[in-house]
Structures are given as C-alpha cells and as structure tokens.
Amino acid sequence: MNAFKRAWRYITRRPTKSLLLIITFFLIGNLVILGLGISQAADNAKVLTRKQMRAAVSYEVDYDKYYEYVNTLEDEDEINKAYQNYPRVSEEAAIAISQDERVKAFNYMMTTTAMSDGFENVPIGNEEERGTSSYVDEAGNEVVYREPNLMIYANLFPEMIEFEEGTFTVTDGKMYDQNDLDQERNVVLITDELAETNGLRVGDTIRISTLNTYMEQEFKAHNLDTEVFFLELEIIGIFHNLNMVDPNAENFRWMSAYESPQNILLMPMTAYRNYYRDTLRAQIEFQQIAYSDSSINVEEAIENNLAPSRVVYLLIDPLEVDQFVEDHQKDIGEYLKLNANNETFKRLARPLDTMSFFANIVVWIVIVNAIVIITLVTALTLKTREYEIGVLLSMGVSKVKVILQLFTELFILALLGFTLAVGSGSLMAGTVGRAVLDYQTASDSQYGEVEDGGYYWHDSTDYFTEVSQDEMLSQYEVSVSPLLIFEIYVLGTAVVLIAIVIPSFMIMRLNPKQILLEQN
C-alpha cells in the first residue's frame, strides 16, 4: 500500500471532504480559465491579425525625429541646409539588412510618374467623368495639361516583392536580370493589358517622358532642349498584375491613369538613375537660367535624389516583425527608422491589450488566493490527520512519503476540479470576454478608428496590408486549446506544490511518540 494507493483510498473513502475540495478547485479552475482564456484569445486575435497583415518592414527616414532636430536649430542658413540635406536611406545598410535570413524579398525601389509618348495608357474608366485639366498660358491660350499616365517602378535588384508574392507574373519575355542592371540597359517590362491596348510585344520599344506640359512650355520659352526628358526603352518582358482598379473605390472618380495597376512599368534602377540624373540636371540648370538661382549645387542635389525614400523588406514570418526591427534598428543611422506599421496595429489592438492586461491580473489574484485557500484547508485538515500521520511514522513510513501522499491527494482532486472547469470555464470566458470587449470598443472607439487614408503611404506601393479594428476583433474567439489546458494543469500543479509547502513543514515537525501518546 504505497503513498499513491493510500492517497486514492483516502479521497474515495472520504467523499464529502474530497467533493468540497473538488468544488474549490473547480471554482478556482473556472476563474483561471476565464482569465487565461480571455488573455489567450486576445493574444490569438492579435497574432491572427498580424498574420493577415503583410510582414512588411520599411526602412525610411524618421521625419518626425528629423523635424524635431530641425526645430532646435536657430540659424536660418542651418535650417535651410537641414531641409535641403535631409537624411537618406543608406544603400549599404539596406543591402546589409537584406542579408538577414528572415527576409523573403525586398524592394530597393524608386517610383515616379511618367508620360507615354506615342502610345496609350490603359484606360481606367473614369475619363469622361473626370475630364481634363487645363491652364491659360502667357499668350492667353488655353493649354490642356498633359498629366502623367504611367508609373515607373525602378528596382535595384531583380527579385521584387511583387514577384515573390505572386502579385506580378511574367507572361512573356523575362524580368530584367543582374546583367541588365550592371549594364544599365534601358529595358522595361509592361503589363499585359498595356501591351494589348497598344499591340506591343517583347522586342518593341516605347518612349516615355517626365516632361509635363508646363515645363515643356517653359523650356521652349528659354530655347532649352527637351530631348533629355524622353527615354526609349526596349520591352524585354510582359507581366500580369493581379491588382486591379476598384471602380467602387471612394477616390475612383478622381483617380489618375498612373494610379492604375495596369499602367506600371518595371525598369532597372541603374538605367533609371541615369535618366533621372540627366533630367534632374536639366531641371536644375533650367532653374539657374530662368531664375538666376546659382545657390544649388547641381551634383550634390542629384546625388541626394538618387536614393529611394524607403526600402521595403518582406519577411517570411509576420510574427518576427517586431524582433527584426529591434535587431536592426541600431544599424540604420540617425534620423532613419525601421517601420513595421506597428503604431496602427497597436492602436487597433488596444481594446484587446486592455482586456488581456486585466485578465492576467485576475489570473494572478486567483492563483494567489488559491494558494492561500488550499494552504489553509490543507493545514486545517492536517490537524485532524495528525493521528494517521503519527501511525504512519510509527511504522517507519518516511515524512517525505507522507508529504507525497498529501500532494497526490490534492493533485488528483485538483486534476478532477480543473478538468470539470475546462468546459464551463471556456463558456464563461467566451461570454465574459465578448461582453468586456464590446464595452471596451464602445468606450475606446476614439482610439480605434483608422485615420483617413492612414497607413503611412500615399504613393502607389503600399506594402502594409490594411486591417480594420472590426476585422481584428472578429478574430477574437475563446477556445480551449491544448496549450490552454496544459497551462491550466501546470498552474494547478504549481498551486498544489506551493500550497503543500507550509503543511509539509508542519509534518516535518511532527513527533510520532507525542501524537500517539496524546491519542492514547
């Protein structure tokens, strides 16, 4: 009859006491599951939402921090200089970060609008409603303003996030490769719809420009050559873009043609930089001639503008985003940051965080109370069991075995109580959690709403997937996962272990002779 068998006999042959303890553990278990369930469901909802969001991290200028610095400057020249020479993304740092094994793809990319020359853009469908823009020139003539209708993506590497994710797929020809980049070749990939609209094929050439109507007029007025603004590109590939214009979008009516995913051109950044350098030089020179502005250092201004405003990394696991940012923040330089769109996520998750925080507090309060209650119950019970312990000790049963028996009894009862609590506790956690969440969102809605057009990026490449608070909260669901059950049993065991400490000391002090003499 070892300690385990004795423990079993004791709890089965003292049913009232056992039942009372089971009820105690059941109530404790319910409260623990309530707390843990709510907390875990909140964490799960956040994780699921994080997974829904793209694992994008942007390496960019920290304008807030930089402007804070600029605001501390007092000298006018220093302020102007600071505005002209704002920090730039470091190519070296960007490439070093891209070597991290958590990075799935990254875009070291510049984007710019352009105009087609000799071919048409893919129509959006709002042309009639939108109409055209015009202005009156110095001679009093109305000039129709030629607007950009193309968007150029110029990447420094052939492996673009869009291809990695499957948003872009080459349907004909090929993507430009490292050789094209190294050779700074003027090559381009166009969308299948753009190709179809204009009957273009791989091997054809297209001409684009970045010269708007106003500049064209101005250049001509000053007898300046505009040819530098025109670029001839050889089509080496045609790709399909899964993204489409949404005719139901709020801004559809005013959408420009270059905003259409079908009017995107892909070209090597090296070639684009050459073109950009030339056009920028021409523009600065024009400014110097037209406005006698000699303050601009042409080469410095050009070099400052040849880096992208940001670099975007796509990670393999969305849950590693925070750690990735933390790991690389120190490598990126002053007034630059790694942005994981966390502020938005944190704002949306605020109700869940608050609920999780209070749920955890409840768990700890319950655990502490449980330890105190079980300790008291066990200590009081021990007084009534001194005689039995005295007998066992007189027979040579070690005190450790007596404590083991006591622990086993409590453990079995805790196991039963917690097992019963798993079902009811999860139901309770679901109901209470949902009620608390509803209250939270009602009182916290001023924080929860997404700012109009938020998510940081206003250009065509928004790598942060938008999620609404409703979407995030819809992920909230209390379920008793194996992990939760495991946690409950671990906590239960810990409670029993701690609760047995004081009674154990009491047992260690017992003297069989004294007990049995008192009994006799």
Footprint of another protein (CB under 8 A)? 1-2, 6, 9-10, 13-14, 387-388, 390-398, 511-513, 516-517, 519-520
Nearer to another protein, 181 or 402 (CB): 402
CB 422 within 8 Å of CB 488: yes
Q: How far is the CB of 406 from another protein (least distance, A)?
A: 13
Nearer to another protein, 179 or 519 (CB): 519
CB 500 within 8 Å of CB 413: no
CB 205 within 8 Å of CB 267: no
Give the DSSP H/E element, type plus range, for residue 116.
strand 103-117
- For the CA atoms of 396, 399, 405, 407, the dihedral, rounded to the nearest 10 degrees, stands at 180
Nearer to another protein, 133 or 511 (CB): 511
Residue carrying the six token digits 């490598």: 331
Nearer to another protein, 335 or 407 (CB): 407
Residue carrying the six token digits 């916290």: 444
Instruction: Give the span between the Cα atoms of 235 and 34, in whole angstroms.
Output: 62
Nearer to another protein, 62 or 409 (CB): 409
Q: How far is the CB of 393 from another protein (least distance, A)?
A: 8
Q: How far is the CB of 7 from another protein (least distance, A)?
A: 10
Instruction: Give the span between the Cα atoms of 148 and 113, in whole angstroms.
Output: 6
Q: How far is the CB of 11 from another protein (least distance, A)?
A: 9
Nearer to another protein, 13 or 330 (CB): 13
Instruction: Give the span between the Cα atoms of 99 and 327, in whole angstroms.
Output: 13
Amino acid at 235: I
Q: How far is the CB of 3 from another protein (least distance, A)?
A: 10
Nearer to another protein, 312 or 392 (CB): 392
Determine the length of the chain.
520
CA atoms within a 13 Å half-sphere pointing along the CA-CB vector of 505: 5
Q: How far is the CB of 4 from another protein (least distance, A)?
A: 11
Q: How far is the CB of 402 from another protein (least distance, A)?
A: 11
CB 42 within 8 Å of CB 356: yes
